């Protein structure tokens, strides 16, 4: 057994303090497509199960970009994006619903069960969680813009001790399914549930500028990075989702790497955290800023 060092004791004391502070708090976590591709989930699911066991109320929201693109390739349907948003015609919509609501969603549920956390997989259509209208950019096709979030089903599941796993599909007019960017969907859910923290897991360390990680951003500087084009492609909806969350009541939003071992535990249970934090408040002043 390794010798006990004061540093280990300090780390434990710090972590336990955070564990106690986070009990009963809701955290909305978005898994990006690459973050959860088969075989690359790493410790993420274990971390979610651990958070849940520690009394945190985690809600997972997921996309599935690469797996949707794979299926579309097999079906010979070309994938097209405009500013990080998938152009979704009727055929694409069917593939998106199959992959997101079916395969990816149920795989995450199974992985959580394997770690001892009871999970329920659903899409934003279930219980009308995500009520959407067609995105104002009509050329995007069946892409929805969130109009309203109905939290009753999610709260019922959380109160019952389940981890909700939500595929980013929306309930559109006349019972139609719409594709909703998962970053945007997760942000709307975080705000509606009054989550204490909103975490986006992706395939980069966070927001990068000149190849360097930007570890903290206030809304003004985040907007400047969007306007200058430093933030592009799939990072655009992420930064916009964080901005919208912190501007409508979520204390802090974080973009972190899914590839970092123990990413979620480091983000919640250590003082420094990892990745990029976007927050409207003053740095370090919040009790749960870790
Ligand atoms: N300034 C920036 N900093 C970091 N990444 C950036 C930046 N600008 C653009 N990007 C791109 O954004 C990507 C992350 O968004 P992307 O949509 O590809 O991933 P995701 O949302 O995690 O997964 P998915 O959309 O497949 O569910 C990065 O891999 C990077 O290529
Ligand atoms: Mg994306």
Res 286: pLDDT: 44
Quickly count: other Cβ atoms within 10 Å of residue 226's Cβ.
16
For the question of residue 148 being annotated catalytic, the response is no
Whether 234 lines ligand 1, by a CB cut-off of 6 Å, is yes
Catalytic residue among 63, 238, 273, 290: 238
Q: What pLDDT shows up at residue 285?
A: 38
What pTM does this model have? Answer: 0.92
Residue 220 to residue 276: CA distance in whole angstroms? 15
Q: Would residue 259 show up in a list of annotated catalytic residues for this protein?
A: no
Q: Which residue among 30, 32, 144, 206 is the active-site one?
A: 30
110 is a catalytic site residue: no
235 lines ligand 1 (CB under 6 A): yes
pLDDT tens digit at each of 290 positions of the chain: 555 555 678 888 888 888 899 999 999 999 987 677 655 576 899 999 999 999 999 999 998 878 888 899 998 988 888 877 788 999 899 999 999 999 999 999 999 999 999 999 999 999 999 999 999 988 999 999 999 999 999 999 999 999 999 999 999 999 999 999 999 999 999 999 999 999 999 989 999 999 999 999 999 999 999 999 999 988 999 999 999 999 999 999 999 998 888 999 999 988 888 999 999 864 443 444 44
Protein fold of 24-279:
Carbamate kinase (3.40.1160)
pLDDT at 46 (0 to 100) = 93
pLDDT at 7: 62
Nearest to 206 by CA among 270, 259, 168, 285: 259
Which pLDDT does position 284 carry in this prediction?
40
Tell whether ligand 1 has an atom less than 6 A from the beta carbon of residue 259: no
Predicted pLDDT of residue 227:
96
Residue 3: per-residue pLDDT: 55
What's the 9 CA to ligand 2 centre distance in angstroms?
39
N- to C-terminal Cα separation, the chain: 30
pLDDT at 282: 47
Q: What is the model's pLDDT at position 32?
A: 84
- Quick check: is 238 catalytic? yes
Non-local CB neighbours of 159 within 8 Å, separated by 6+ positions: none
Domain ranges in the chain? 24-279
Residue 194 CB coordination number (10 Å): 12
Name the closest-CA residue to atom 24, ligand 1: 33
Backbone torsions φ then ψ of 144, nearest 5 degrees: -100, 150
What is residue 173's three-state secondary structure? helix
Tell me what pLDDT residue 11 has: 82
């Amino acid at each position: 057994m390794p010798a006990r060092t004061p540093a280990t004791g300090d780390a434990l004391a710090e972590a336990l303090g955070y564990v106690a502070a986070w009990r009963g708090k809701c955290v909305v976590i978005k898994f990006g497509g690459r973050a959860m591709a088969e075989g690359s989930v790493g410790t993420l699911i274990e971390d979610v199960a651990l958070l849940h066991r520690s009394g945190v109320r985690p809600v997972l929201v997921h996309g599935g970009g690469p797996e949707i693109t794979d299926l579309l390739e097999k079906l010979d349907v070309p994938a097209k994006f405009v500013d990080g948003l998938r152009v979704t015609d009727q055929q694409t919509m069917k593939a998106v619903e199959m992959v997101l609501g079916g395969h990816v969603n149920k795989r995450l549920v199974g992985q959580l069960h394997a770690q001892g956390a009871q999970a329920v997989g659903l899409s934003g259509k279930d219980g009308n969680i995500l009520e959407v209208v067609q995105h104002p950019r009509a050329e995007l096709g069946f892409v929805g813009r969130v109009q309203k979030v109905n939290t009753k089903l999610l709260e019922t599941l959380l109160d019952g001790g389940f981890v909700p796993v939500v595929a980013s599909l929306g309930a559109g007019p006349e019972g139609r399914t719409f594709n909703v960017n998962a970053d945007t969907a997760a942000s709307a859910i975080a705000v509606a549930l009054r989550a204490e923290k909103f975490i986006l897991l992706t395939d980069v360390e966070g927001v990068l500028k000149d190849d360097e990680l930007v570890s903290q951003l206030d809304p003004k500087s985040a907007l400047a990075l969007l306007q200058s084009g430093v933030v592009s492609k799939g990072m655009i909806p992420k930064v916009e989702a964080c901005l919208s969350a912190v501007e409508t009541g979520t204390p802090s939003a974080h973009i972190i790497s899914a590839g970092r071992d123990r990413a979620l535990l480091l983000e919640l249970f250590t003082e420094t955290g990892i990745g990029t934090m976007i927050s409207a408040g003053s740095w370090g002043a919040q009790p749960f800023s870790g």
